[in-house]
Amino acid sequence: MRILVTGAAGFIGSQVCRRLLARGDQVLGVDNLNSYYDVSLKRARLQELITSPGFTFFEDDVSSMNVKDGRFAGVQRIVHLAAQAGVRHSLQQPRDYIHSNLVGFLEILEFSRKQEVDHLVYATSSSVYGANQDLPFGVGDMVNQPISLYAATKRANELMAESYSHLFEVPMTGLRFFTVYGPWGRPDMAIFDFTKKIIKGDEIILYGQGELSRDFTFIDDIVDGVIRCLDKAPASRTYVGPEINQGSSPHIILNLGRGSPVSVVDMVSMLERQLGRVAKIRLVERQPGDVDHTLADIDPTTAWCGYLPGTDLEYGIGQFCKWYQNYYTS
């Protein structure tokens, strides 16, 4: 299978590439290697991939992809993970999100329809649930109150995908990721950032007075969900349980989470145990754009593709801490 993965140097993208290569797929990876966070970490992820004969990497921006470019001829499936991430960064640099998340996604949609790909799987986010207070978050819930521009762009992606899928009969699956963590993670995410600060003895800041909770989901579980969904393209009038109001287009949206929220304070306690250190903590008010709690309803995803995340948070944090200490001390 010839598969295009965008955001191939990213946290999730690099691990998806690795899993696809391991099962024998031919993977074309695209990433613009932007400087939102440490580019050397992105290049190190790529080093894990480029030795595989089935992997070809293009340093490129999906916002300027040429659908007639022969480099991507014969692509059968796409996993679109390239995006400008980060809720808080969207408060300072909003135009980055329009360029990457809207213009870039439009180019992927155009590529998908003109190349007549078998299936497009794209990343959306639990952030689309915004001000929703009803837990767990179900894919049939109202998502018309995004509280960050990042969330608004991800919801826009879902609507754009629905339109293209309806008009051009391109099978598409949108995956709402819930707080992904693990080895090779993103430095701007809490577990990574807190680990660094605890080891250095720096103060960590807990927003919302430390009372926020998240549905932390281990990278291996996320990758398993992505590939299970990639291998099962929806058809028109696909029905995935009563929570999803599926229309006539071959397009579905699913949650990828753990289905088991943990408070940020408890997560910090797990980091302290794994690192053998005590964190210096400062409690502050909730930041604009933050939601209080997240919890994924994953029953429809399980019913659809057999997705069963099984990684305990303390075990997953332990795996991350081992990777972090090895990566930054070797």
Cite the active site residues: 150
- Interatomic CA distance for residues 99 and 76, integer angstroms: 26
149-168 helix and 104-115 helix, angle to the nearest 10 degrees:
20
Q: Give dist(CA 173, CA 283) in Å, integer.
A: 39
How many residues belong to the chain? 330
What angle in degrees, to the nearest 10, is found between the helix axes of 190-200 and 264-275? 50
Tokens of 70: 């022969």
H/E stretch holding 262 reads: strand 262-263
Strand partners, 213: 263, 293
Place of tokens 């145990």: 273
Q: Are 91 and 288 in contact (CB under 8 A)?
A: yes
- 3-state secondary structure (DSSP) of residue 128: helix
Distance (Å) of CA 230 to CA 43, 129, 318? 25, 23, 29
Structure tokens at 114: 């003109």
* Distance between CA atoms of residues 256 and 174, nearest Å: 10
How many distinct helices (H) and strands (E) make up the chain? 11, 13
CB atoms within 10 A of CB 172: 28
Sign of the CA dihedral running 313, 319, 322, 325: negative
Q: Distance between CA 221 and CA 257 in Å, rounded? A: 8
Place of tokens 């629905």: 162
Strands 262-263 and 213-214: antiparallel
